[in-house]
Copies of this chain bind each other. A is one copy, B any other.
Amino acid sequence: MDSRKVGVLGKSGGQLGRMLAAEASLLNIELLILDVGPSAPAKQILAHDNHIDGSFSDPTKIRELASKVDILTVEIEHVNVDILSSISSSPDFKHLQIHPSPDTIRIIQDKYVQKRHLEDAGCPVSKYLGVEATVEGVQGAINELGLPLMLKSRKLAYDGRGNYAIHTPSDIAPALTALQNRTLYAEKWVTFEKEIAVMVVRSASGEIRSYPTVETVHKDNICQLVFAPLRVDNPTVEERARIIAEEAVRTFTGAGVFGVEMFLLEDGTIYINEIAPRPHNSGHYTIEACHSSQYSNHLRAILSLPLGSTSLKVPSSAMLNIIGTSSSFSDIQALSTQALSVPGATVHLYGKSESRKGRKMGHITLVAHSDAELIANLRPLLLSSPTLSSLADKYTPPPPAQGGHSHSSPLISIIMGSDSDLPTLLPASTILHQFSIPHELTIVSAHRTPARLVTFAKNAASRGVKVIIAGAGGAAHLPGMVAAECALPVIGVPVKGSVLDGVDSLYSIVQMPRGIPVATVAINNSTNAALLAIRILSAGDPRLVKKMEEYLKGLESEVMGKVEKLENVGWHNYVVKK
């Protein structure tokens, strides 16, 4: 592809460099790794003699790497940025590019400076305060920000290292001991509904593209689980989060991908938590789930090659980390082997020669045709994970144990204007159950709960619902009003009332004005509504075409059985079942 060489300041035994290396090989781009030892994870899959043995903080080694390459990049932000600055201004290295820029790395590696930079640029951050590392200093922060608060090291802080939660004043002394010799700052405690993140890629010329907003789940201060796309009740979050992340990345200089971690509060407020100027754990899923991965786009960006599409190519995906529990590899091997049996799972082991408690040893990506399938496949892995089993019930709840209860990740939503419509709508649920389609059923009345109707309709797509079945009788406004408030396909079931034989409902549902369609089925025929909903889902899941063909064959066989019976018993003796 290119004869330019790329040097990476590697984190000791880091996996990000390894995944970047795999991408570089696809493009025949030579990557040189600065890391300790001859068999760092990235060096294992780049067989050449130009790597450098040393640390990302060693000035001599950094200069040696810089002298061998055309572009320098980093796998971790806690590098020796003074050397990078001096290299970047040195005439000896005038053809060398450093991405992201040393200025960006300098801002980001000091979390207090990073926060101030973001605040100055108008990006949303929660309250924070520089703090002197004394009891009085921390007490002052408590007075200002309230309790609890997070006391944090300004530098060399990642994966929870350098963080201390202060719940009562008695925590101050142990916190100062734990964080001694560090410069500190304090953050107001943020009670968030979810942690979310967006990977953003920025080219040297300032072009910006962002990956989908994802949910990240942290435990023991490490990002452990990622879900993409984000599923939330609030339909504006996905886009607002992307815009905030893009605006934040615009404020920095230099090229590459940036991981923007954010808090989503219950009222919909989004705060930036922190930014990583490099590929990030919350973007591993992009290797299997997006058109071009974060690693591909990092390389493209720093080499000024065209950026790749950041679109999801699958309906649903997740990532879980494989974390060491001890020096033994047995847990890691057990979880990896189990994952091989999970459809849509890909195991990534990092080739680290030693395991230890809390160390990231690998990850597993899952992709699936739906959230429900994803969750069903992910659940046994979480339950088996020695570090993540406590998350299983919250993030991968089992499907309802019995019929008649809503699935937590429904593809189809059945709603009715009144509980009196329930008997008419039940057959729809029976059919969906028969086809194993995750669904929910509830009451939404156009006339008696108009606000609920609007909220329901506006949130349905961002909750992952693909089709809405709405049953209503008489004036029967429900299907049409839902269709007016959302962009999903809405199937209307006219419910027969006590007068007019259901024709009133039928006309009311089918005769929609130009612009807002409702897919109307026969009066009282919710069976057909469910079958239509499944046919609709087949537009995104071709396996359902086969299933529906089998169902049609079943109908044919059933009738052929009756043909035979009619011949056998004679038509005078044939009893017609109701």
Contacts and interface: CB of A to CB of B under 8 A. Distances in A.
B349 A309 contact: no
Interface string A324-350: 000000000100110011011111110
A82 interface: no
A341 B306 contact: yes
B531 A522 contact: no
Contact of A514 (B315, B491, B525, B545): B525
Interface of A: 1-2, 22, 25-28, 39, 43-48, 229, 291-292, 296, 300, 305-306, 308-309, 311-315, 333, 336-337, 340-341, 343-349, 351, 367, 461, 466-467, 484, 487-491, 506, 510-523, 525, 527-529, 531-532, 535-546, 548-549, 551-552, 555
A340 B296 CA distance: 10
A520 B523 contact: no
A487 B549 contact: yes
A1 B347 contact: yes
Contact of A489 (B43, B488, B518, B538): B538
A516 B56 CA distance: 66
B291 A343 contact: yes
A46 to B, nearest CB: 6
A501 to B, nearest CB: 12
Contacts of A315: 542
A313 B367 contact: yes
Contacts of A22: 22, 25, 45
Contacts of A512: 521-522, 525, 528
A345 B296 CA distance: 11
B532 A489 contact: yes
Contact of A521 (B517, B527, B537): B517
A529 B340 CA distance: 44
Contact of A520 (B306, B309, B510, B555): B510
B517 A532 contact: yes
16 contacts: A25-B44, A26-B347, A45-B47, A291-B344, A296-B346, A309-B344, A311-B344, A487-B544, A487-B551, A488-B545, A491-B519, A510-B522, A515-B551, A516-B552, A519-B520, A520-B520
A349 B26 contact: yes
Name the residue in A48, A511, A540 with the highest tally of chain B Cβ atoms < 10 Å from its Cβ.
Answer: A540
Nearest to A489: B535
A349 B149 CA distance: 51
How many copies altogether?
A: 2
A300 B535 contact: no
A517 B535 contact: yes
Given A305-B337, A539-B540, A514 B488 contact: no
Name the residue in A39, A46, A541, A542 with the highest tally of chain B Cβ atoms < 10 Å from its Cβ.
Answer: A542
A510 B314 CA distance: 34
Contacts of A466: 538-539
B292 A346 contact: yes
Contacts of A519: 491, 519-521, 532
B517 A511 contact: no
Contacts of A2: 333
B487 A548 contact: yes
A347 B542 CA distance: 27
A458 to B, nearest CB: 10
A523 B540 contact: no
Contacts of A543: 311
Given A313-B367, A344-B309, A467 B45 contact: no
A347 B27 contact: yes
Contacts of A351: 25, 28
A530 to B, nearest CB: 8
A466 B540 CA distance: 9
A1 B531 contact: no
Given A306-B341, A314-B314, A466-B539, A521 B528 contact: no
A461 B349 contact: no
Contact of A535 (B343, B488, B529, B546): B488
Contact of A511 (B291, B523, B541): B523
A-B pairs, 8 with minimum CB distance: A540-B540, A519-B519, A487-B548, A517-B528, A47-B47, A309-B343, A517-B532, A489-B535
B367 A539 contact: no
Contacts of A308: 340, 343, 345
A461 B539 CA distance: 10
Contact of A487 (B484, B521, B552): B552
Given A44-B46, A519-B519, A539-B540, 17 more contacts: A1-B333, A2-B333, A26-B348, A291-B344, A308-B343, A466-B538, A484-B552, A487-B548, A488-B538, A489-B539, A510-B510, A510-B520, A510-B522, A514-B527, A519-B520, A520-B521, A540-B540
A538 B25 CA distance: 36
Contacts of A291: 343-344, 367
A323 B523 CA distance: 60
